[in-house]
Amino acid sequence: MTILITGANGLLGQYLVRHLLQQNYNVIATGKGPDRLCPKHAHYTYHDMDICDATMVHTIIGNTRPDVLVHAAAMTQVDDCELNPALCERVNVTGTANVLTAAEATGAHVIYVSTDFVFDGEKGNYAEEDDLNPVNYYGFTKMQAEAMVQTSDIPWSIVRTCLVYGNVLKGTRQNIITWVRDNLSRGKTIKVVCDQWRTPTYVEDLATGIGLIAARQAQGIYHLSGKDLLTPYDMAMETAAYLKLDSTLITRVDAATFTQPGRRPPKTGFQIDKARHELGYEPITFREGLMKVAGNGTSL
């Protein structure tokens, strides 16, 4: 089976490429700019592809004709999306439309990677069928893209995930564990919110879950996240304790402390029973993920 990945240069994309190659799939990685992975593997190819360029998208997907297309490319920085709504819409909505149209021409099964930020965060512990009500522009564009996926004329799956973390690979930005580790190890004080709740997701678990969907050609919406409901402050304190760093450098604050363009939902987190029962998905604990990150993981 041939699987094409958009956004392959990102954190999830890089781990997903590695996971799928280990499962002996033919992997076509796409991303903006040069290949950041460059694994020496006979079943791997890379294409520089901007999802906002409809002609480029149609040409590459039409020529490679993947069986499964994992659409992970997106503009995900919440504040950047709020400050640049036109660019956010172009990437997250128009870009997704380009990918879907090209996939419809080839009949590929599309797996769309979405977010917990399609919810307003008033309820928490969200199931797949709960009502969407995003509170920022990033979440709004992801909701729009989800709607397009669900009305497409091809097999589709939507994967919603939550606060992905893991070892930073080539060219990817930091996540909460690496940010806490790097700042505390330099003796810098940090402020961390205690009134936002998430089920943080270890990136290798997310890659495995997407692989399970691809292998089963499973359709519908799946919540793939970790199993522990934590605040960023909880995560920071646990990281400091495990790494034996100075936790007194961590200041507990609430979200009102920060002036941010994009509002964050207060309490998300997922029910993952559907993924467990239908896919055999079973994530590790946050503590286990922390141990993997602290151990520096493995390289591509």
The partner residues of 44 in beta bridges, in order of sequence, read 27
**pLDDT at res. 66:** 98
Q: Where are the alpha helices (DSSP H) in the chain?
A: 11-22, 54-64, 78-83, 85-89, 95-106, 137-150, 176-185, 203-216, 232-243, 273-279, 286-294
Q: How far is C-alpha 52 from the chain's CA centre?
A: 19
8 A C-beta contact, residue 148 and residue 101? no
8 A C-beta contact, residue 8 and residue 46? yes
Q: How far apart are CA 74 and CA 80, in angstroms?
A: 12
Q: How far apart are CA 95 and CA 169, in angstroms?
A: 25
DSSP string, 15-39: HHHHHHHHTT-EEEEEESSS-S---
Q: How far apart are CA 148 and CA 137, in angstroms?
A: 17
Which are the contacts of 259, defined by CB distance < 8 A and separation ≥ 6?
none
**DSSP classification of residue 143:** H
**pLDDT at res. 296:** 54
Q: How far apart are CA 269 and CA 276, in angstroms?
A: 16
Q: How far apart are CA 263 and CA 117, in angstroms?
A: 10
**pLDDT at res. 172:** 67
The SS3 assignment for 83 reads: helix
**pLDDT at res. 37:** 86
**pLDDT at res. 39:** 84
Which are the contacts of 79, defined by CB distance < 8 A and separation ≥ 6?
260, 261, 262
The partner residues of 5 in beta bridges, in order of sequence, read 29, 70
**pLDDT at res. 299:** 36
Among 14, 70, 73, 75, smallest CA distance to 210 is for 70
Q: What string of pLDDT tens digits covers the 300 residues of the chain?
A: 999 999 999 999 999 999 999 999 999 999 999 998 888 899 999 999 999 999 999 999 999 999 999 999 999 999 999 999 999 999 999 999 999 999 999 999 999 999 999 999 999 999 999 999 999 999 999 999 999 999 999 999 999 999 999 987 776 677 889 899 999 999 999 999 999 999 999 999 999 999 999 999 999 999 999 999 999 999 999 999 999 999 999 999 999 998 899 999 999 999 999 999 999 999 999 999 999 988 754 433
CA angle 231, 122, 94 (to 5 degrees): 95
**pLDDT at res. 297:** 44
Single-letter amino acid, residue 164: V
pLDDT digits (tens, 9 = 90+) for 210-257: 999 999 999 999 999 999 999 999 999 999 999 999 999 999 999 999
* Rg of the chain over all Cα atoms, to the nearest angstrom: 19
Delineate the domains of the chain, giving CATH numbers in brackets. Answer: 2-165+201-226+269-284 (3.40.50.720)
Q: How far apart are CA 45 and CA 35, in angstroms?
A: 10
**pLDDT at res. 82:** 98
**pLDDT at res. 300:** 33
DSSP string, 124-186: -SB-TTSPP--SSHHHHHHHHHHHHHHTSSS-EEEEEE-SEE----TTPPP-HHHHHHHHHHT
8 A C-beta contact, residue 37 and residue 9? yes
Q: In the Cβ-directed half-sphere of 119, how many Cα atoms lie within 13 Å?
A: 24
Q: How far apart are CA 170 and CA 35, in angstroms?
A: 10
